[in-house]
Structure 1
């Protein structure tokens, strides 16, 4: 297993077995698109950074090959001159969210908030027939600064709004709502 306090003597990237033990979806994408060990080691040393947790993993963001996001909301760019890895500093995108700006040659920039970035790579889509891009990233604990993959769930917009309304009105915890939401939605579709 990785040791976040010493980048020099331990393996920093996850093995296939560790990925299968930690993540229960999107496993092959994570394996195929994990940042190379030497690049991660160089980025960490260059920025005087450490892994924030033993299970932190950096994986290429879909369609943006020069950007690797972690399951804790951090991002490494290989876009700099000579493709030197660099930790990106989060930007304030709105009054509620922070995130990053990605760019590709001859293309528009993509401004993406951290929770959406984490959700796009690490969170499952439980809503068959609904495109991932139409779902919203929901912070289970309501803390928009907690962008851990364990704190984010993809929800349809109407369900996301209902979760927040229900929580405010009745004080029902999101953990309960997230567990029952897919079942409730399935029952609603059966009634139609």
Structure 2
């Protein structure tokens, strides 16, 4: 074995020890998510995370502007919320730069196949989004405080711009977000991995 390879393996062993308890907790949570429906909330302090999917099909969609405090800092976001959403070939990644002793690390969650991720009453603090969007039964320019088609908690400030639709489909979804909250979240055939370097979903 080369000396550089030995050092690399030692560093990863130390990394596993440092983050062992956190990963054990994550494993328990993610096992629950893969087996059934659990309430879920994700916010990574100081870091945005990426989500990709081949296709998202949602019911009861609303969108409005807000300020996200859930990640430890204030970020202006476009809130996107669905009463129900299903994503094919779901991937979520978080880039963790300069981890002590090991350097850059990427945490990746993958739920492959049709309907890999299913959620209800999901609310996302979006920094950016690209994809092919189709909306049905759409209202644009509605008062954000009067939004009624999305989750009950998904309402903006009175007088602010809002959009809602009975249905939404997004093809080739590529999204960067600061936070996600869901009443229920299920990940099928879940695979969690820690990757050396910057190896995100996109």
TM-score bucket (shorter structure):
under 0.3
The alignment's TM-score, normalised by the length of structure 2, stands at: 0.20
Higher percent of residues as helix = 1
Report the structure, 1 or 2, having the larger strand content.
2
Q: Which has the higher contact order (CA 8 A, sep 6+)?
A: 2
Normalising by structure 1, report the TM-score.
0.21
